[in-house]
Structure 1
Amino acid sequence: MTEPDPAISAVLQAVPALVPRLRENARAAEDRRWIPEENIELLEDAGVFRLAVPRRFGGLDASMAEQIQVVTDISRGCPSTGWVAAAWLEGAWVASQYPDEVQKEIYAAGTVRTSGGLSPTGQFTATEGGYVLSGSWRFNTGCRGAHWNLVFGVEERPDGTHGLLYALVPIEEFEVADDWHVTAAAGTGSFTTSATEVFVPARRVVTAEELVGGATTDRSNTGATGRNYGLVTYVAAMSVAVFIGAAKGAYETFTERLPGKAIAYTGWTEQRDHPLTQIKVATAANRIAAAEALADGYVRLLQDRADAGEHPTVEDSVTVRGRGGLATLLVLEATDALHDVSTASSLARDQHFQRFRRDLAGLTRHGMMTPFTNLELHGRLLLGLEPDTHYL
């Protein structure tokens, strides 16, 4: 049995203590459409943004399960902050898939915050020493507080063929639009970033095959490092962690308000004495527990694969998406069960429950994380059909 790392254990212990403060800051995050600087500082001081940085660069090199635990706890406090933290951890992990010379550049400070997206909405034009990049990327979570931006785009080659490329670019090379006006997860600050003829050195550009499939060889993370999770499966697992954390936050804030709360216009002076409330609370608790069990299973699957020095197979990736889809449905149903027995006062903006529910409903609209799309994908595999997506 591996001994727990004291530095990682310190982060795992520090983050739950931040939950009350993150929860109190959640309305401010929503109002300003971006998480407060205090939230970033609290997580930075706790060591969160070192979790996905390789140890040789001063990071903590935490396992997926450890990162999942941290993201879940952050999301119990504020789903928007959890979504941003997950995005930045994902971006930090992405840099570990680049050649070593780029890793040295990205991880120079031992902690890093990288935003980005997976939509190929940029144009790469080859030039001497690298590429000229232009394009816009919507839903760029965390861009206002990032150091780097991971962008995806298309290269049109001289022979008329096309290639898909990813680039890591300093965030100051982009314009950030003030266009994030939404009714859920407003605090994520998922604004549009744009680049106009930005030069990107060749060393910071890799093909989609290299990034997603781990084809590059000039890097120290090849072999049985225990961290080769696969881009899409890693993002999917981290996203579901946010959903589970948000559902836990909804459950906690709902049940905390019950003692002494009456049911208006009835003879019930204690809502928690009502059988329907008891049934709905138990239903919610067990659906959240079931979602966690599903997530624990596929996290172990991915970690076992990584520990063996292998990338996830197509079957692994589809399974993660399918089980993550069901976990997502379960936590949505859990918050709906609580909403069924909530009262009018829960609609007030200063009540946390309504924000958890709205944020969860909004975040699960992410194009790659909608539950029925992922269950359909898993069903195709189970029925012997080919997946109908390249995002695996």
Structure 2
Amino acid sequence: MTIPSTTERIAAEPVGAARDRAFDDALEVLRDRRDEFNKQHFVPPDYIALLKQAGMYRASTPAQFGGEPMDPSSFMKLVERISAVDPATGWVASFGSSLVYFSALPVATQAKIYADGPDLAYAGGLFPMQEAEKVEGGYLCSGLWQFASGCRGADILGIGLAGGPDSNGMPLTALVDPADVEIVENWDVAGMKATGSHAVRADRLFVPEEMTFVRGGVPQVDEPITRYPMLPYAAQVLAVVTLGAARGALDYVREVGSARSSITGGTAKGNRPAYKTGLAKAEADLRSARAFFYEVTDEVWELAVSGAAITDEHKALLRLGATQAAHVGRDVVLTAFDLAGTGAIYESHPLQRYLQDALVPAQHAMLQTNTFEAAGSILLGLDAGIPSFP
């Protein structure tokens, strides 16, 4: 079976000037339309098509199936740039990394999925894991799954199934056609509105067994992108959104602080000691967290490229760098909000988009405060105490 596309199978522009131009064009369109996306609570398919042209949705498709896998740092720096314009759209774009999960599928299934091209937008509403009825050839799936970020523009959806004997108790992801499920629009939130992380409902939907896999399961394709730790990468691509939000917020307060006088005609905000010190400290904190984040990413990627062993300690450092990025990035945005003063409380203020969205990633289960302790446990040779960590 091939997967029909809600955005048609848009192909990426050729690598080089054409693709760089497509990415820059997508950023310009985003500056014009980010308020639209925020109000409607989703990034629409026509904008997903622009991200496909920019190569975001073939970045984790194995080369074996026509993909052009990007090293994690290069991909995440693109997500970071998108997030500096609009963090919620950066969150949706970050799932261009998630096709790496499909490498746990049978090779024949992967070939069918990519038969019409490698540019595939995936969204997963995996929780809560639902019990499915095992029938001949597959599963009958019923239930409601939450948090399917980007589902309104996805070509293919994933739903979570409770594990059984066939998966050694490990939970499964079942891949389904968006046309076969109902999108339940329940994404009524204060931040990350444009991610469109609505719920997905199915009623006795048959999913062939070959369209199910263990998330983070053993890859059936051996390439550097499939050797890089999948679950830590999932945490990283969400954390980098906060780094982008922090950069956008700091760029704004720096621009405002450079004005020669305040709106009242008094001393310019940027010439006040607290403003100068706050901006400098936030810049240092952001750059420090960002340096650690990309340093450990590149170290582990080199191991993936060479085929060397990637240990739990390596994975724990990836998770630690991701959690640090999410928490420091959030603090930096709060500093920018503080520096901006009273005007920033208005809903229409430019910092509100960064403030509301940047609070969200550190709330995610993969980036919450307890993951600091879990990483420390692994570094000490102890049990992490969190399922699927690192």
TM-score, length-scaled by structure 1: 0.87
Partner of 2:78: 70
Match of 1:227 in 2: 226
- Alpha-carbon distance in structure 1 between the residues aligned to 2:172 and 2:81: 34
SS in 2 for 1:62: coil
Select the residue among 342, 347, 350 that pairs with 1:349.
347
Structure 1 segments unaligned to the other structure (5+ residues):
1-5
Question: Gapped runs of 5+ residues in structure 2?
Answer: 1-13
Mapping 1:264-279, distance limit 5 Å: 267-268=266-267, 270-279=268-277
Residue 249 (structure 2) pairs with residue 250 (structure 1): yes
Asked if the contact 1:115–1:148 (Cα under 8 Å) also holds between the matched residues in 2, the reply is yes
The answer as to whether partners of 1:33 and 1:186 remain within 8 angstroms in 2 is yes
Partner in structure 1 of residue 201 of structure 2? 194
Q: What's 2:322 paired with?
A: 324
**Equivalent residue letter for 2:190:** T
Q: Are positions 1:22 and 2:57 aligned together?
A: no
CA distance in 2, matches of 1:260, 1:162: 60
Q: 3-state SS of the aligned residue for 1:49?
A: coil
Give the 5 Å matches for 1:144-183. Answer: 144-156=152-164, 162-183=169-190
Contact 2:34 2:86 in 1 (8 A): yes
- 1:20 Cα offset (Å): 4.2
CA distance in 2, matches of 1:324, 1:12: 27
In the superposition, the TM-score normalised over structure 2's length comes to 0.88
From 352, 371, 378, the counterpart of 1:374: 371
CA distance in 2, matches of 1:65, 1:247: 18
- Distance in 2 separating the partners of 1:232 and 1:135: 25
SS at match of 1:176: strand
Q: Are the structure 2 counterparts of residues 276 and 155 from structure 1 closer, same or farther at C-alpha, using a change threshold of 3 Å? A: closer
CA RMSD of aligned residues (A): 2.5
Find 2:362's aligned residue among 361, 364, 373. Answer: 364
Q: Deviations over 1:271-290 (max 9, x none)?
A: 22222211111112111111
Matches within 5 A, 1:66-105: 66-87=74-95, 89-105=96-112
Aligned CA distance change for structure 1 residues 151 and 314 (closer, same or farther; 3 Å): farther
SS in structure 2 of the partner of residue 277 of structure 1: helix
Q: Secondary structure at the match of 2:201?
A: strand
Change (3 A) 1:35 1:347: farther
Task: Report deviation, 1:365.
Answer: 1.0
| Distance in structure 1 (CA, Å) of the matches to 2:128 and 2:386 | 14
Change (3 A) 1:251 1:19: farther
Contact 1:131-1:200 within 8 A present in 2 as well:
yes
Distance 1:143 1:131 in 2: 22
CA distance in 1, matches of 2:356, 2:216: 32
- 1:170 & 1:253 partners in 2: Cα distance? 41
Q: Which amino acid aligns with 1:239?
A: L
Match of 1:385 among 370, 382, 387: 382
Indicate how the Cα distance of structure 1 residues 8 and 306 shifts in structure 2: closer, same or farther if over 3 A, else same: farther
Pairwise CA distance, 1:45: 2.5
* 1:111-122 correspondence to structure 2 within 5 Å: 111-122=119-130
Q: 1:313 aligned to 2:311?
A: yes
Residues 15-24 or 134-143, more deviating: 15-24
Report deviation, 1:388. Answer: 0.7
Do 1:180 and 1:189's aligned partners in 2 also have CA atoms closer than 8 Å?
A: yes
Corresponding residue SS for 2:160: strand
Name the structure 2 match of 1:203: 210
The Cα shift of 1:197 comes to 1.0
**CA–CA distance in structure 2, aligned partners of residues 8 and 198 of structure 1:** 43
Residue range with higher mean Cα deviation, 20-29 or 233-242: 20-29
Q: Percent identity?
A: 26
Structure 2 letter corresponding to 1:338? A
Amino acid at match of 2:216: V
* 3-state DSSP of counterpart to 2:386: coil
Report if aligned partners of 1:213, 1:311 keep a CA contact under 8 Å in 2: no
Of 308-317 and 140-149, deviating more is 308-317
Identify which of 212, 216, 223 aligns with 1:212.
216
Offset at residue 40 of structure 1 (A): 2.0
CA distance in 2, matches of 1:226, 1:112: 16
Once the two structures are superposed, residues 285-325 of structure 1 have per-residue CA deviations (whole angstroms, 9 ceiling, x without a partner) of 11111121011122113312321335743222222222222
CA deviation profile, 1:344-390 (whole Å, cap 9, x unmatched):
223333332121111000232112112x2211111222343211122
Which of 145, 150, 155 does residue 137 from structure 1 map onto? Answer: 145
Match of 2:60 in 1: 52
Q: Which residue of 1 aligns with 2:336?
A: 338
User: Relative to 1, partners in 2 of residues 1:279 and 1:12: Cα closer, same or farther, differing over 3 Å?
Assistant: farther
User: Aligned-pair distance for 1:180?
Assistant: 0.5
Quick one: distance in 2 between partners of 1:249 and 1:384?
38
Q: Which runs of structure 1 show a deviation greater than 6 angstroms over 4 or more consecutive aligned residues? A: none
